[in-house]
Amino acid sequence: MQKRIYLTIVIFFLGGLLLGMALHKIPSYIPIVYLLVSAVTMAVYFLDKYKAKTGRWRTPEEVLHLLEITCGWPGAMLAQMLFHHKNKKISYQIVFWVMMIINCGLLFWYIKYRV
């Protein structure tokens, strides 16, 4: 169930960005930034999961949250879904959702007042 919800959120968000770009409501660089930062975020999640399994030095949670708030939350959400990483730790999830909400709020503020 959680996988479907996460996938639906990401698809609707990225689809909305692409639609907004196509309708000239948002600059074309915004979806590109989200896709690039999300790809980097997914890679960092994957590496952190690998390090967790092999007992190696881990990526600090602050770094993951920084990536999430700087447009990487869609990638983080997909990574949590695909790699089963950080998706059961409640304290992490609370901060993750706060980062996502802050990022979306800043995006909508930017679209409304800057474009």
Q: What is the pLDDT of residues 32-43, one digit of tens each?
A: 999 999 999 999
DSSP annotation of 69 reads: I
HSE of 101 in the Cβ direction (CA atoms, 13 Å)?
Answer: 6
pLDDT digits (tens, 9 = 90+) for 20-68: 999 998 999 999 999 999 999 999 999 999 999 999 999 999 999 999 9
Q: What per-residue confidence (pLDDT) applies to 109?
A: 92
In the chain, the number of structural domains is: 1
* Domain membership of residue 17 as a residue range: 2-114
Report whether pLDDT(115) > 60.
Answer: no
Which 8-state DSSP code applies to residue 25?
Answer: S
What are the tokens at 69?
Answer: 């708030």
Q: What is the pLDDT of residue 78?
A: 96
Question: Around 68, how many Cα atoms within 13 Å sit in the side-chain half-sphere?
Answer: 26
- Give the whole-angstrom CA distance, residue 12 versus residue 9: 5
> What is the average pLDDT across 64-76?
97
With 0.85 as the threshold, say if the pTM is over it.
Answer: yes
Residue 86 pLDDT greater than 90, yes or no: no
* pLDDT at 88 exceeding the cut of 90: no
Q: Which of 92, 82, 36 is nearest to 60 (CA)?
A: 92
